[in-house]
Structure 1
Amino acid sequence: MVEYLEGTYRGRVGDQGEVTGSGGNWSVSARRRTRADRGRICDRMSVDPRFVKLRRGFAVRSGILVSVFLASYLSCLLLSVHARDFMSTRIADSVNVALAVGIGQFLLTFVLAWAFGRSAGRSLDPLARELREQAREEEAAAGTAVRR
């Protein structure tokens, strides 16, 4: 019997320590070797300068994104609490500054998400794709089965 739980392969272990599944028989020791090989590949990838650059780039972009959004949100909140007269100023017939700022929050959210996606697509995604391909090549060279 083969079970797929949360993306991990789980087969039934027989009396001889063999795991039967759709891919044939896998011994417990072969599965341990596969995990150890993957662990070594992950350790090598984690110290790769390109991976460090990828992580740092994501962290910087995410930090900027969160900081800009929080600054905008907090300024809107503080204006609505401490500058009630300014926020109630009419811009058009039934539109005041508070409504415009509130709609601006939604627009800012979409603009930040679009800018993050575009920036990541240009610089982070190609690097991630390159690292993923290298990891798959190393995994294939180590003789482990590539499974998704």
Structure 2
Amino acid sequence: MEGVYRRRVPDPGGELHAPPGRSAAARRRAQADIAHACERMSVDPGFVRLRRRFAIQAGLLVAAFLGSYMSYLLLSAYARDFMSIRIAESVNVALVMGIGQFLLTFVLAWAFGRFSERAIDPLAAQVRDRAAGGARPHPAARDGADGAAVRP
């Protein structure tokens, strides 16, 4: 039941009602286990590298877009002569730069997706596997003749 908000109502004794089949103590233990796992993952070097890589990527793309947009705004406000230069009959620099903003948005979204697939998604899969305790082989690993994973 994803997305369903479940309201917890205190009973007269001040305790929250536990879900059916689980005691309040079991629920608190489960929450403590989850908190401990999150705390462990927050200091994991792979997770820290993942967060840093994502922050740098997102920051660069946002900076590129904002720089482009601010230059367009400033040029349209303070360089009207430049923006009114005609390129074709009814096409001027302002129109080309305005359409360029849309194109830049699509190019940056494409670049974000492509870079994420190459640099962020594999790292996220490794972090997710470590968090789950699984030992799936790395995507770069190949199957040997006996079916065992072999590193290239």
- The percentage of aligned residue pairs carrying the same residue is 56
2:48 corresponds to which residue?
A: 52
Q: Quick check: 1:116 aligned with 2:116?
A: no
Q: 1:76 aligns with which of 64, 72, 78?
A: 72
User: How far apart, in 2, do the equivalents of 1:18 and 1:101 lie?
Assistant: 59
1:40 corresponds to which residue?
A: 36
Deviation at 1:127, TM superposition (A): 1.2
Deviation at 1:73, TM superposition (A): 0.6
Higher RCO (C-alpha 8 Å, min separation 6): 1
Decide whether aligned partners of structure 1 residues 7 and 47 sit closer, same or farther in structure 2, where only a CA change above 3 A counts.
Answer: farther
| Structure 1 unmatched runs, 5+ | 139-148
User: How far apart, in 2, do the equivalents of 1:89 and 1:56 lie?
Assistant: 43
Decide whether aligned partners of structure 1 residues 36 and 9 sit closer, same or farther in structure 2, where only a CA change above 3 A counts.
Answer: farther
SS in 1 for 2:133: helix
User: How far apart, in 2, do the equivalents of 1:100 and 1:129 lie?
Assistant: 41
| Structure 2 unmatched runs, 5+ | 135-152
1:144 corresponds to which residue?
A: none
1:141 corresponds to which residue?
A: none
Structure 1 runs of 4+ aligned residues shifted over 2 Å read 4-15
Deviation at 1:116, TM superposition (A): 0.7
1:137 corresponds to which residue?
A: 133
Q: Quick check: 1:19 aligned with 2:19?
A: yes
Q: Quick check: 1:95 aligned with 2:108?
A: no
**TM-score normalised by the chain length of structure 2:** 0.76
Which protein is richer in helix relative to its size? 1
Deviation at 1:51, TM superposition (A): 0.3
User: How far apart, in 2, do the equivalents of 1:70 and 1:84 lie?
Assistant: 20
SS in 1 for 2:110: helix
User: How far apart, in 2, do the equivalents of 1:62 and 1:100 lie?
Assistant: 26
Which amino acid counterpart does residue 19 of structure 2 have in structure 1? V
Report how many residues are paired: 130
Which protein is richer in strand relative to its size? 1
**TM-score normalised by the chain length of structure 1:** 0.78
User: How far apart, in 2, do the equivalents of 1:10 and 1:42 lie?
Assistant: 24
User: How far apart, in 1, do the equivalents of 2:82 and 2:122 lie?
Assistant: 47
